[in-house]
Chains A and B, each alone.
Chain A
C-alpha cells in the first residue's frame, strides 16, 4: 500500500503550546470562587479510627470546612465496589484520606490539617500478599463477601483474597508427565510508581442545581462521569468531566483514582469549586501503585526443546482496594506464557488485599511482571538442556496456527516474533562478547515479548468528524493525549483516509464529556489500533456523504464518482467535478437552492469479539496481539556492583509505523522507564506500612546519565487486519522485556541468576562477593 502521510515525520500538533508553557494542565486552572483542600492521611497503615476532633482546625485562618468520612453510606468501584472516598471507621493503607480541610488557599488548608486530632487503634499490618494469606491473618475487609462485583470476579468472603483467576488449557499433569525436564523458579516485581512528572489533581464542583462538574488529570473522563453519577444518583448527563492537558500517565491516571474523594469533599461546599493537587508524596501513596507481583513458575520441556507444560502462581499484593487491580493480576496470569505455545497450562492468579496503596494500571499492565519470569526461565531451561537459548525459543514461539493459553488462535496478521528476535539478535549478539577486564564484567541478554490486548466488553472508542466550509476538517474524540502523541496519530490517519494534507486537519485539544464522543478509556495500547479505526470509519462515512451530495450536483450515479480530497469527480471524465468545499454544508445549486447534507459523521470502533472468560478462564481478549524482542549489552562495575546498560535494542512488529519520530520516542522512553524498574525503582514499606521513600529524591528515577548509552529501535511491519493501514499499538510494549533481558545479561556476565528487581549495586556486589567466597 502506498501511503502519503502515514509513516511520515510530521510535527505533532501540540508541540508549540507545550514548548511555550501555554498548554493548560490541571494545576493551571483557576476558577472563580475556587477553594482548596488538603487531605490528612494516617500515621499507620491499618487501624480503627477511634475518634476525630476537628474543632481546633475549624478555627484556623481561612478554613471554610473540615470534612471527615463519618456517615459515608456508599461504596464505589467499577469491578468490585470495595472503595470509600474517605475512611469511615478504619484505615487500610498509609495514603488513605482520613479527613480534609477546605480553605481559601492551599497553604491555609495544609496548616489547618495539623490541628486535626485523630485517635487510632492499630490493627496488624500486611504489606505482602504472603502475610495477608496466612490462616490467622486479620481481615482487611471483613465485609468483602457482601461487596457488589462484576460477574465472575471479586473477593472470597472471610479471607483476604480479593480476586482469584484460574486459567486452564489442556492437561497440565499429562504435560509434566511428558516432560524430560521440569524446572521451577520464583520471581518478584515489587511496587513501583508510574510517577508521571505531573502529579494527580482534581477540581470538583457541585452546582447548586444538582449537577456535578469535574476537572481531572485523568485518562478516563467517561468512567469518572458514570461512577460519580452512580454515587450521587444523578443522570449520567448531569455530570460533566473535563480533561485538560495530561502531563504523562503511564497507567496510574486511568480508572477512578482521586476523583471520588475530591467530589466527596466538594459536596460540603455546593457552588464552590474545590481543587486538590497531589504533593509528590501523595501522588506516590494516595493514588495507585504499580506491580507488587510475585510469580512462581514450573515449566516442563522435552529434550528436543519442545515445551510441554506451564504451571504458574501469580501472587498479587493488590493493596487496600482491589477494584483497579484485579485485571492487572489477570493480565499477568494469562501472560505468564510469554511468547510461547504451551499445550498444557495451569495458571493460577490471586489478588490479595494488603495494607498498601491500591495497585492499578502501570504501563505494561501485568505483562512485564510475569514475562520477567518466563524469559528468565527460558534462559535457565536452555542452560539445563545444553541448548542454544534462541533455538529453544524458536521451537516454541507463538505464531500462525498456534494457540495462546486463552485459547485464541493466532494468524500471520498478529505479527512475527522470530523476525523481531532476529533483528535484535543481530544487533547485540553478532560479534564476540567483550572479555572481562580489571574493572568490568560484560554480558548480553535477550527477551522475547508478547503484548496481549486488555479490553472489556464495551470498550469502544468514537470519533466525530466535521468538514468545514473551506474543506478543512475538525476531529473530536474522547482519547486522552498524555504525551504519547495520539493527536498526531489521529491527524495522520485522517489525512491518509481523507486524502488531504494534515495541515487541513485540526484535532481536539481537550476532552469534555459534554461535547466529546464517548470512549471507554485510553488504555491498553489500544488508541492507535482502535481509535485509528474509528477515524478511518468516520472518514469513510464523510466521503460517502460528499459523494451522495455530489451525485445530485453532478446528476449521475453514486458509483460513477471518485473522491481525491479536493474534488468529487466522474471517474470516466475527471473534468466533470465538484469541489469538496462546495459540498461540505450541502451543495448550493445555481438558483440558490441547497441540496444534500452537512458533512459531519460519527463512528465508533469496538474490540472484535471480546468475551468474558469461560469456565476454564479462557476467552478472547479482543483486538490483537503484538510481538517483539529486546536485547542488551551491559557491563557490571566490579568495585561497586553497578550495572551499566551500554546498548539496548528493541524490535516490535507494529504492523505499520504511523510516525517514525514518535514511535521511536515511545520505545526509547519505555525502555528507560523499565531500566528504572529493573535497576533502581521501588516503593518500600516498613512493618507499619509506612513508606520511607515517597519523594523523587529517594525514589531513584532514571536521569539522562542512567539511560542506555545507545538504543537501537527497529520495526517489523506485518500488517494487522483491524487497525488503520495495518497498524498495531506500541505504548506499553517497550517496558515488557527490559528486566528479563538485563537479568539474563547479568547471568551472562557473572554466572549469577537473579530473580527479583530492582537490581541495586548493593545486591549485585553482595552476590559477587558471596560467589567469590565460595
Chain B
C-alpha cells in the first residue's frame, strides 16, 4: 500500500514513499534525516516536534504524513543560513533561553510562524503561543525574554521574510 508524497522542505522539493502509518515527524526525522525536530511525547502536548507547515506552526508528531503532500514545510534546519543565525535564534541565546536544547527548535519555529504572520503581537499572544510548548529546564522566563528580544530585533530588521521567499534562498 505504498504511497508517494511530494512536498517542499526548507525550499527543496522532496518525494517520499510512505507505508501509510508515518506521521510528519517520522518522515522528517527518519526519511529525510532532519533530526532537529524532536519527539518528546505522542499526544501533541510538548511541542518539541513543531515545524512550520504552510506558514502555520504545527506539531508534526500528530500530522498524518500523507496529508503533507503538496505542503511547504520549514524545519529548524532551514531557519538559519549557514553560520548566520536567524534573529530569533540570536535572541534566545542572548537571553539564556537555551539549556538542554531539546525543546528549543520547536520554540524557534513557533516564534517564527507567530512573528511571520504578525510582528506586532502582544506579550499575551506571545505567551499563548509559547504555552503550546513544554520546557522542563528554564521555567520559561528566559524564553519569554528571548521572544520579546527577538520581536524587537525583527522589528529593527524591518520585517521577517515571508516563508515562501525565504525558502528559495536556502
Contacts and interface: CB of A to CB of B under 8 A. Distances in A.
A665 B89 contact: no
A218 B156 CA distance: 42
Given A22-B36, A704-B131, A483 B101 contact: yes
A770 interface: no
Contacts of A671: 139
Given A247-B102, A673-B139, A696-B46, A197 B40 contact: yes
Given A19-B89, A250-B136, A704-B131, A665 B76 contact: no
Contacts of A12: 98
Contacts of A673: 136, 139
B99 A245 contact: no
A668 interface: yes
Interface stretch (A23-31, A79-87, A146-154, A205-213): A23-31
Interface string A18-50: 111111110110000000000000000000000
Q: Which of A661, A665, A673 is the most central at the interface, judged by chain B CB atoms within 10 Å of its CB?
A: A665
Contact of A672 (B29, B79, B101, B140): B140
B77 interface: yes
Contacts of B35: 21, 24-25, 27-28
Given A25-B38, A196-B102, A107 B21 contact: yes
B39 interface: yes
A27 B28 CA distance: 13
Interface string B141-154: 11110000000000
A702 to B, nearest CB: 8
B139 A18 contact: no
Given A483-B100, A703-B131, A697 B139 contact: no
Interface in B8-62: 19, 21, 29, 35-46, 48
A58 to B, nearest CB: 21
Contacts of A194: 136
Nearest to A194: B136
Interface in A700-726: 701, 703-705, 707, 711
A199 B104 contact: no
Contacts of B100: 18, 196-198, 245-248, 482-483
Given A21-B35, A196-B136, A704 B43 contact: no
B135 interface: yes
Contacts of B38: 25, 27, 197-198, 247
Interface residues of A, number: 55
B136 A697 contact: no
Interface string A234-249: 0000000000011110
Nearest to A196: B136
A705 B139 CA distance: 10
A626 B131 CA distance: 34
A449 B4 CA distance: 59
A665 B36 contact: no
Contacts of A17: 101
A704 B96 contact: no
A703 B133 CA distance: 7
A509 interface: no
Contacts of A195: 136
A20 B102 contact: no
A198 B43 contact: no
Contacts of B75: 21
Given A20-B36, A669-B139, A673-B136, A696 B93 contact: no
A18 B104 CA distance: 7
A662 interface: yes
Q: Which of A194, A195, A198 is the most central at the interface, judged by chain B CB atoms within 10 Å of its CB?
A: A198
A766 interface: no
B22 to A, nearest CB: 8
A16 interface: yes
A704 B102 contact: no
Interface of A: 9, 11-12, 14-25, 27-28, 107, 194-199, 245-248, 250, 277, 279-280, 482-485, 661-662, 664-665, 668-673, 695-697, 701, 703-705, 707, 711
17 contacts: A9-B96, A11-B93, A16-B93, A19-B92, A20-B105, A23-B101, A197-B102, A248-B136, A280-B41, A482-B100, A485-B99, A662-B96, A664-B142, A665-B96, A669-B139, A696-B46, A704-B143
Please give me the 6 A-B residue pairs with the lowest Cβ-Cβ distance, nearest first: A21-B36, A483-B100, A18-B101, A247-B102, A672-B139, A21-B76
